[in-house]
Each structure stands twice: as C-alpha cells, then as structure tokens.
Chain A
C-alpha cells in the first residue's frame, strides 16, 4: 500500500516545520485534480493532432492547385 501523501507547513513566526498527512478529503481532491489535468492534457494533444492533420491536408490541396512551397508559407505570415 502506498504511503499517505503529506503536506508541509512552515510556521514563519515560530520557525517550526510540520509534515502532516493529507486528510481523506484532501487525497480525494488531489486525485480528482490529477484526473482532470490528465484529461485536459489528452484533449489538448488530441486537438493538436487534428490541427496538424488539417494543416497537412490544406497544404496538399494547395500544392495540387499549383502553389509553390514559398507561396503556401507566405499565406500564414
């Protein structure tokens, strides 16, 4: 079984540092945040793949129309 996650609290007035176990609620919140962050990252990566594919497709169509690589590049500047 994994160790219970901890939090560090530094009291700036007394100089005392405590290492405390997270509560069950804090652990649950942490897991929820982790899953949400990973979902968000996966969604961003999927969106980037779609954009890259669309860009490649658009370039292919422009090339088929007779545009040079320089002319295609100039469109996005």
Chain B
C-alpha cells in the first residue's frame, strides 16, 4: 500500500520568482508535488526544471479552456511544462491547483512524468492543462525548481512535496 510522506513544503510569505526543493532524499519510490499558485503578470505557464538542467525536456499537452480542446507537442525544451497557474487578471484572491507526479525519480533511465494544472477564474476563461512530460537523463532527481514565465509567484502560493513509498 502506497504511503505518502510530506518531505517539505513552503507557503510564500512574500512574492518570489521561483521555488526550489533541493537535497531531495532518495528514500522514496515516487514524488508528488502539489502546487496552488498565482502569478503577478499575464503568463500562465508553470515551468519546472530538475537538477538545474536546462535541456532534454519534452512534453505533450492536452489543453481545455471551457470552449475548445487542443493538443501541442514540444521537444528539445529548456524546461518542463508543469501546468497552468492563475495569471494576475484572474478573479481576485483565487489560485490555481495542480499536481506533478514523478515516478521512479531515483532511476538511471529517462524520467517520464505527468502534470496537471487548473486555473480558477470566476469571471472569464479558465484552463485545464494536462502534460505528459519526459526528461531524458540517467540522473536521479535531487532538486525541483518551479517558476512562472517571467513573473513572480504571489504571496500565499503554496508548494507541498511528498514522497511515496511502496507505490
């Protein structure tokens, strides 16, 4: 039976351009990162880098905006796409919700992972972005960094990293 253990968390007391979980212990089988966030500008994209690497990422996106559905494929990326967050124009005091699931993060083979991010907006369009991600590497994952393209996470954005045993 899978057991979830909270490794670390952070709820921003002031705005920050990025949040990094470093020195992640290699004692679990999988990692789960829960994110509730909002940016201070117009961009939606939650970017994720692993071990500070800036290459060999790729992804496929399934995106819904309440009216249409679309799909996009990106290869040779400098970062993973980990979902969407609320931009500054969304309803006041609302935050996105999302989850990134990283199986076998200590393995010596390529790292497929999934991520899901949903914006909340009580006035106009909201999004659900579901990514199938791949990082081509033989390295175990020891750090995870998150940022929103060219902007800050606002105060109150929260990040919870869980380790899963016996997944």
- Chain A contacts to B: CB under 8 angstroms: 5-15, 17, 19, 22, 26, 30-38, 41
Contacts and interface: CB of A to CB of B under 8 A. Distances in A.
B67 to A, nearest CB: 12
Pick the 5 closest A-B CB pairs, nearest first. Answer: A34-B150, A33-B150, A13-B23, A37-B43, A7-B18
Instruction: Provide the main secondary structure of the chain A interface.
Output: mixed
Interface string B1-37: 0000001111010111111111111000000000000
Given A34-B41, A34-B43, A38-B42, A12 B149 contact: no
Given A30-B150, A32-B150, A36-B149, 7 more contacts: A10-B9, A11-B22, A12-B21, A12-B23, A38-B41, A38-B42, A38-B150
A36 B7 contact: no
19 contacts: A5-B16, A6-B17, A7-B17, A10-B8, A10-B22, A12-B7, A12-B21, A12-B22, A12-B23, A12-B161, A13-B24, A14-B23, A15-B8, A26-B17, A34-B43, A34-B151, A37-B41, A38-B42, A38-B43
A8 B12 contact: yes
Nearest to A21: B17
Bin chain B's interface residue count: 20 to 34
A30 B17 contact: yes
A6 B16 contact: yes
Nearest to A31: B150
A2 B18 CA distance: 18
Contact of B42 (A5, A7, A15, A37): A37
Contact of B149 (A6, A15, A19, A37): A37
Contact of B19 (A8, A30, A35, A41): A8
